[in-house]
Amino acid sequence: MTDPFKIAGPTCLSFSGGRTSAYMLWRVLQANTREDIDRCLIVCFANTGKEDEATLRFVRDCELHWGIKVWWLEYHEVPSGWASVTFDRASRNGEPFAALIRKRNYLPNPVTRFCTSELKIRTIFKFLRDGGWLEPDGIDMMIGIRSDEPRRVAKIRAGKNSESAQIQNTMPLADAGIAVSDVGAFWATQPFDLELGTFNGRTLAGNCDLCFLKPAGQIFSLIAEKPERAVWWASMEAMAMAMAMASKPSGAVFRSDRPTYAQMAAYAADQGDMFDQNEEAIACFCGD
């Protein structure tokens, strides 16, 4: 049986900054020679500016502990559309995300998730294109989707890469039958870990801290834990509402089917939990 973590040629590993994609990276490092890794593997972390500080530290720790170069990328309003940053220079106040919202003049939502496509997928694509990684025969894109995420696996297998036929998505964790329990068991034995808590295997504050695709109860709990988390999200909705009042094209809230972030922050300060804790997150490319 072919090892799904074995590199067959130029390969980009999309590192979300979570435990699952970090475990995928570790398996790739174990399955390949240093020569093949240096020659063929490029690891990309696309920072939106709304990741928790613990996520940024975790990406840096993976680099240091495993001796691997991670390209820290951000969406920027420059001709190339992207910029290379470092742990020290990475945005921490949502600057790339806010710049994209201002450019679009409205907010992303569960139907139009341009945040994922622009801040992550297209940013990585532009970096690979400009670096010559797509020529002449394209590149494999490793995505950290596990075998216990069947709907996400099926959706990715059925689709094509939205940016280029030169990018072939692969899911080595799913192919290897890796589940969340395997990922958890691995990190329990390591000298470092992502310093964010989990619930039923989910890292609640992972990816964008209060991503609108997360269940409302999860967002509410995260706001109750750290009320300052809601400030940026509420400010983006306030900005979008102002644009709407000025008769500009605008989606004024991230979700029309739930309270605004400002309202949730107010509720969190005044009362207990008010949402269904069993609500499922909406699947997204971002991964864990």
User: Residue 268 has which token pair?
Assistant: 């969190």
Cα separation, 220 vs 217, whole angstroms? 5
Cα separation, 184 vs 202, whole angstroms? 10
pLDDT in tens, 130-159: 999 998 889 999 999 999 999 989 988 887
In terms of DSSP bridges, do strands 167-170 and 139-142 run parallel, antiparallel, or are they unpaired? Answer: parallel
How would residue 283 be classed by pLDDT, with cut points 50, 70 and 90?
Answer: low
Residue 254 is given by DSSP the state S
| pLDDT over 70 at 168, yes or no | yes
| pLDDT of amino acid 156 | 87
Each residue of 16-50: b (16+ CB within 10 Å) or e? bbbbbbbbbbbbbbeebeeebbeebbbbbbbbbbb
Amino acid at 256: S
How would residue 251 be classed by pLDDT, with cut points 50, 70 and 90?
Answer: low
| pLDDT over 50 at 181, yes or no | yes
User: Residue 13 has which token pair?
Assistant: 């590993």
Inter-residue contact 186 to 26 (CB < 8 Å):
yes
Cα dihedral 176→67→209→90 (10° resolution): -140
Cα separation, 27 vs 37, whole angstroms? 12
Catalogue the long-range contacts made by 86-89 (C-beta closer than 8 Å, 24 or more residues apart): 87/56, 87/57, 87/59, 87/60
pLDDT in tens, 70-103: 999 999 999 999 999 999 999 999 999 999 999 9
Inter-residue contact 42 to 133 (CB < 8 Å):
yes
Instruction: State how far the alpha carbon of 219 is from the alpha carbons of 40, 73, 231, 233, 245, in Å.
Output: 39, 26, 13, 11, 27
Q: If residue 139 lies in a helix (H) or strand (E), which one and from where to where? A: strand 139-142
| pLDDT of amino acid 246 | 67
| pLDDT of amino acid 201 | 72
| pLDDT over 50 at 69, yes or no | yes
Cα separation, 11 vs 7, whole angstroms? 7
- The single residue listed with the structure tokens 């309270």 is 259
CA distance from start to end of the chain? 27
Q: What is the CATH number of domain 11-197?
A: 3.40.50.620
- The single residue listed with the structure tokens 């972030």 is 261
Amino acid at 159: G
Most confident of 46-55, 164-173, 213-222: 46-55
Q: Among 101, 123, 128, which Cα is nearest to 112's? A: 101
How would residue 165 be classed by pLDDT, with cut points 50, 70 and 90?
Answer: confident
pLDDT in tens, 189-219: 999 999 998 877 778 888 999 999 999 988 9
| pLDDT over 90 at 280, yes or no | no
Cα dihedral 230→236→240→241 (10° resolution): 30
| pLDDT of amino acid 249 | 52
